[in-house]
Amino acid sequence: MKIYTKTGDKGQTSLIGGRVDKDSLRVEAYGTIDELNSFIGKAMSELDPATCRDIFDDLEAVQNELFDGGGDLANVMKERHYKLSDEPIEVLEKRIDELMEEAPPLEKFILPGGTPAAASLHICRTVTRRAERVTVTLMKQEDDVPGEVQRYLNRLSDYLFVAARIVNKRAGVPDNEYVRSAKVFRTEDKKKGSGGE
């Protein structure tokens, strides 16, 4: 089996049920999710298995869910059966709450960084936000975009923020606070996640 097909040599690619230009917004959306999935894999390779097995397992599930979401965005068939549901969104919410109980108190903005794994998770968080922005734009332009994908990405970015903090904490690396940050998080925000949207 050859890996190259040459069918995209004229600037088009196949969706599930059609073909579009490679620079279409739909391709940009699921392509950004694919990029995110690659960064997730990089972050997983940097996790300490002795202290972060739970986060590794979370991310392994996330990789499969991102594949589901990307496939849903690539589906333009008249009769569609989407794979991503609200269930993994609820699982992410539960894990965010669990990890926030472990996280140090948060009052100020923090800078991405710390351990290599935490820095990679922050990259994942920002790519997730970009994937969400593109998906929202796609939803404005087309009526047949599953909202579960956008909601999943929104929740995932919060999870990745918290996971990055936990990875640093377990490694004994404190948060690096933004030096000119005012106190932007209240004590009760600890249970709400990163203060994201």
Query: Considering the domain boundaries, does residue 197 fall inside one?
Result: no
User: Could you list the residue range(s) of the whole structural domain that residue 68 is in?
Assistant: 15-192
Instruction: Assess if residue 140 is contained within a domain.
Output: yes
Backbone φ and ψ for 118, nearest 5 degrees, come out as: -65, -40
The per-residue pLDDT for 182 is 86
pLDDT of residue 194: 47
Q: Quick check: is 157 in a domain?
A: yes
Q: 178 in a domain, yes or no? A: yes
CATH code of 93's domain: 1.20.1200.10
Residues of the chain with pLDDT under 70: 1-10, 12-23, 77, 186-197
Contact between 62 and 36 under an 8 Å Cβ cutoff? The reply is no
| Gap between the Cα atoms of 169 and 180, Å rounded | 22
pLDDT at 112: 97
The pLDDT value given to residue 107? 87
Q: Return the beta strands (E) in the chain as ranges.
A: 12-15, 18-21
The pTM score is 0.88
In degrees and rounded to multiples of 5, residue 117 shows phi and psi of: -65, -45
pLDDT at 14: 58
Confidence at residue 190, expressed as pLDDT on a 0 to 100 scale: 46
Residue 41 lies in a domain: yes
For the chain, how many structural domains are there in total?
1
Instruction: Give strand pairing partners of 177.
Output: 110
Q: Could you report the per-residue pLDDT of 71-86, keeping only the tens digit for each?
A: 999 887 677 788 999 9
Structural domain includes residue 5: no
What is the predicted pLDDT for the residue at 16? 59
The verdict on residue 8 lying in a domain is no
The pLDDT value given to residue 44: 98
Q: Is residue 4 part of a domain?
A: no
